[in-house]
A and B are shown apart, each in its own frame.
Chain A
Amino acid sequence: MFLKTAAKNLLLTFEIKKVAILSAMEYRISFIFQVVGMMINNTGFVLIWLIYFARFPSLNGWSFHEMALLLAINSISYGLVWIFAYGAVGLSKSVTKGEIDRFLSMPQNTLWQISVSKTEMSAIGDLFFGLIMLFISNYTSWQNILIFLLVIIFSSIVLYSFIISTQSLAFFLGDFEGTSREFINTILGLTMYPQGIYGGALKLLIMTVIPAYFVAALPIQIIRFHDYTLIIYLALASFVFFAIANLIFKAGLKRYESGNQITLNI
């Protein structure tokens, strides 16, 4: 029953996104500008690390190739969440403004409805950029690409779950939009650096409260060392974080107060 519903929702998600992307492509110039703009924007990270590794060619086993692989994982997992579940990124704003009402009356799962309700078109640029980075990284054997495709799913689920967990705090704390945005900035910030630099309290933090370790470090480790048992850990972690996010969202939803807004959605 659960699998059947999940498959149905997944198919519906693809249909919704297909329509959203085709609609956005009607405004061709704007669409291209956003996608290309995002790719140029991401190139900033490449420049930073080119300059860094020109001066320090290796850091705890990390060279520019590993950094390119990290950028590939980050961009693609970020891109997937921003394309397929951008509604989750604005959840706290919707809660504060009392805009959840329209989702409550719909037949499908509320969290799924909210998540797929918005699409960030510029994130398509992230996907392209991620593929270019994967190519540059030299981790391009068929085996690596297959592992990459697998770990990217779990990495995206962890990122999505973290966003839901932090955005749902708006149900309990009121105006939380700015702070929840900073939470997102923090996890993205933690995934942007060579993952061998973290130790002590910072490592504990990225393995628990801000799970950047499961978004970036562990997927990289799996691809680099072909350690397949770690895939099970990553899958388990993504399941646990997803379950926690669902629990927080459901507990929060019980406290939700309607904004009595009348909105028309076409």
Chain B
Amino acid sequence: MKALGKISKYFEIGKISYLNNSAYFIGTISRGFTVFFRIWIFTALYRTTLNAYGLETINNLSLANVIWTLMIVQAFGSSTRPNIESLIQDEIKDGTFAYTINKPYSYFKFNLARSFGNIFSNILPNILIGSIAAMILVGPIQITFIGLMLGLILMLFGFILDFLISFIIGICAFWMEDITPLTWIHGKSTMVFGGMILPISLFPDKIQKIAELLPFSQLFYAPSKVITSGNFSDFIHYLPIQLIWISVAGLISYAVFKKGVRNVSQNGG
């Protein structure tokens, strides 16, 4: 009963975050349209590439397959805004952090709930607008129910891993004047090795193997690939890598949080 009460507390935090983010309807729609534009650009890029080289497929992937994979990667990636690391940095700098750690909830779980609240408010419009764009530009692809379910499991783990990395970066504000350069490097690593512009399947073999072992490909690319391919073998390939990175990032976030809290000083009066 007590455990249920604890869960419902964080559920309510997530709900507030969801409602708060959903209130800015124009913002949500505009993010969706950014996804639309990106899909349009990707279609132009890969269609021109296929035409220029007289190809039907790239690495056995059709144009539609490439575009739908990129669309899902982009839709998932855009759903994590606003970035949790910036919110944590602001709270550390303006002193809110010192007050929140005294409150009867876990700061870590509070941010996890807040992050998932934002994700759930963004993901549906992004997927909807992105699917319309992909449907208009390249037509439909076959997505199996099993592929979708397996992809959604990886998506959940992907969002948890993304949150953990963002949490670690945010907590670094205890020791750094400005964490923005770290958020850029995280963002760009996800863009390059997370298949956000160039699907990892199109990488040269050696780089592909390395990229698939990095955490960045496990955030949004792994679930998108499983959703579009529907392959159980892909799921089995990505799941252990994701779980290992979640464990590693979880341990690091626990350690940095513990160390960071020691820097907090509270003065009475």
- Chain A interface residues toward B at CB < 8 A: 27, 29-30, 33-34, 36-38, 40-45, 47-48, 51-52, 54-56, 58-60, 122, 173, 175-179, 182-183, 185-186, 189-190, 193-194, 196-199, 202
Contact = CB atoms under 8 A, between A and B. Distances in A.
Given A34-B178, A40-B184, 5 more contacts: A37-B181, A38-B181, A122-B181, A178-B27, A178-B30
- Which 6 A-B pairs give the minimum distances between C-beta atoms? A37-B181, A44-B188, A178-B27, A41-B184, A179-B30, A30-B177
B34 A186 contact: yes
12 contacts: A30-B177, A37-B185, A40-B185, A47-B192, A48-B197, A54-B204, A55-B202, A179-B30, A185-B34, A186-B37, A196-B48, A199-B44
Contacts of B48: 59-60, 196-197
B26 interface: yes
Contacts, number: 105
Interface of B: 24, 26-27, 30-31, 33-34, 37-38, 40-41, 44-45, 47-49, 52-53, 176-178, 180-182, 184-185, 187-189, 191-192, 197-198, 202-204, 207
B38 to A, nearest CB: 6
A244 B47 CA distance: 34
B177 A29 contact: yes
Contacts of B191: 44, 48
A179 B26 contact: yes
Given A48-B191, A59-B48, A193 B41 contact: yes
Contact of B181 (A34, A43, A202): A34
Main secondary structure of the interface of A (DSSP, over half): helix
A198 B53 CA distance: 17
A48 B198 contact: yes
Nearest to B211: A51
B90 to A, nearest CB: 15
Contacts of A56: 49, 52-53
Contacts of B188: 40-45
Given A182-B34, A198-B44, A176 B189 contact: no
Nearest to A58: B52
B178 A197 contact: no
Contacts of A60: 48, 52
A253 to B, nearest CB: 21
Given A44-B188, A48-B197, A178-B30, A59 B49 contact: yes
A30 B178 CA distance: 7
Contact of B30 (A51, A182, A197): A182
A59 B48 CA distance: 8
B27 to A, nearest CB: 3
Contacts of B185: 37, 40-41
A48 B181 CA distance: 19
A51 B198 contact: yes
A197 B40 CA distance: 11
B177 A33 contact: yes
B27 A38 contact: no
A187 to B, nearest CB: 10
Contact of B38 (A30, A33, A51, A189): A189
B207 A51 contact: yes
Contacts of B202: 51, 55
Nearest to B31: A182
Nearest to A47: B192
Contacts of B37: 186, 189-190
> Which of B48, B176, B177, B198 is packed against the most chain A CB atoms within 10 Å?
B48
